[in-house]
Amino acid sequence: MEILTDLLRSMPGASGMSDQAAFITASATMATIMFIVMALCAILLTWMERKVAGFLQNRYGPMRTGRWHGWAQAVADMLKILGKEDIIPAEADKGLFMFGPLLVLLGSLLAWAAIPWAPGFVAADLDLGLFYIFAVSSMVIMGLLMSGWASNNKWALYGAARGAAQMISYEIPLALACIPVVMYTGSLNTMDIVIAQQGGMLNWFVFRNPFLFIAFIMYFIASIAETNRGPFDMPETESELVAGYHTEYTGMRFAFFFLSEYANLFLVSLIAAMVFLGGWWSPIPGTDFAPALTFIIKGVLMVFLNMWVRWTLPRVRVDQLMHLCWKVMIPVTLLCVIGAGIWMMLSGQAAA
């Protein structure tokens, strides 16, 4: 944010801009940039998922639209969605029905603010940055419940209830998996977490000790469930609930859910890269020439793993979903916290 503020003040005619005006302008600019990046992520990741799914299922995927491997198919789909009629059911709660998708999108957008893309380049350099990300992303749950309830449709309500139960449950192991890293760094600041991993691949937290490696695996599994993706896509089971919480949505409001899903997918992948995989640091010391590109590549690789899991494993049952969370993942992540603490004591490692 400081870089953007200084850039605005260096522009012709902006030298007399007050600190408050510069901050507001920089914040609005950064929010616009993040929204554009989210939209681009949805377009690119949609195309990527179709190609990955086609590869894993021994087929081509999109090939015609845009000629080169169907690169324009996602763009065509976006234009088609924008042209769809915006329908609100007659018996729906119109206020909540319209506000629900916006709240889902807002929860995703706000969480991006604390992601450090490169040294000194973060929209909100907060002391409680990691806590902030988990806190604001919880707004998505309220948006899902609001949308399902306002639709006045039993399938949408069932999907919203499933989604809320699943996301609230898996937030616990998701956050617990990050606690050992916080213990090592002694900070919740996202910049501090990344800086603590400089010095090559062996200094990344995922390779620091066995408990952190297990915590990374637990985080990855919980992140799949937290984003409602297969094999944990219970809120949208088309064979049971038509389309789940967004059954009644069309046009741009449906696009908000679609945009939020892929924004959250990339967000949890970036968090994994930030917390466990060294952030913007290169695997080889002294080769950190393009930190932002390195960070994005790590995030895209995590997205690929997520897609690989989705198109490989069958959907689980609801009871299996909850059993995995409460009876397996939460105890394992708690043991990782205790084990990492004992490892730090025995090895003489103190928080940075």
* Residue 235 near residue 160 (C-beta atoms within 8 A): yes
pLDDT of 276: 94
What does pTM read for this prediction? 0.88
Q: Specify which residues 118 forms β-bridges with.
A: 121
Residues 205 and 62 in one domain: no
Residues 164 and 304 in one domain: yes
* Residue 244 near residue 163 (C-beta atoms within 8 A): yes
- Alpha helices, DSSP H only, in 57-128? 73-82, 94-111
Residues 44 and 164 in one domain: no
- The CA distance from 268 to 273, in Å, is 9
In the block, residue with structure tokens 């616009």 = 32
Residues 188 and 334 in one domain: yes
Residues 111 and 234 in one domain: yes
Domain end, chosen from 83, 112, 141, is at: 83
Give the C-alpha distances (Å, rounded to integers) separating 90 from 93, 95, 150, 230, 242: 9, 12, 11, 32, 19
Give the C-alpha distances (Å, rounded to integers) separating 269 from 159, 265, 277: 24, 6, 10
Please count the residues of the chain: 352
In a domain, 352, yes or no: no
Give the total number of structural domains in the chain: 2
Residues 134 and 59 in one domain: no
Give the contacts of 257 (CB within 8 A, at least 6 positions apart): 101, 104, 147, 245, 246, 249
The alpha carbon of residue 298 and the mean position of all alpha carbons in its chain are separated, in whole angstroms, by: 13
In a domain, 47, yes or no: yes
Residues 115 and 79 in one domain: no
Give the C-alpha distances (Å, rounded to integers) separating 121 from 26, 53, 230, 262, 308: 13, 34, 33, 23, 31
Give the contacts of 191 (CB within 8 A, at least 6 positions apart): 116, 119, 122, 125, 129
Give the domain range for residue 22. 1-83
- The CA distance from 87 to 78, in Å, is 17
In the chain, beta strands by DSSP E: none
Residues 56 and 140 in one domain: no
Give the C-alpha distances (Å, rounded to integers) separating 56 from 35, 112, 194, 202, 311: 31, 30, 33, 31, 7
Residue 12, preceding peptide bond in cis (omega within 30° of 0): no
Residues 18 and 163 in one domain: no
Give the C-alpha distances (Å, rounded to integers) separating 263 from 107, 114, 178, 319: 10, 14, 20, 28
Residues 251 and 278 in one domain: yes
Domain end, chosen from 48, 83, 118, is at: 83
pLDDT in tens for each of the 352 residues of the chain?
A: 555 565 555 666 555 666 676 667 777 777 788 788 888 888 888 889 889 988 888 888 888 888 888 888 888 888 888 888 888 888 888 888 888 888 888 888 888 888 998 888 888 888 888 999 999 988 888 888 888 888 888 888 888 888 888 889 999 999 999 999 999 998 999 999 999 998 888 899 999 889 999 999 999 999 999 888 878 887 666 666 666 788 888 888 888 888 888 888 999 999 999 999 988 898 888 787 888 899 999 999 999 999 999 888 888 888 898 999 999 999 999 999 999 999 988 887 654 4
Q: What is the sign, positive or negative, of the torsion defined by CA atoms of 103, 164, 299, 351?
A: positive
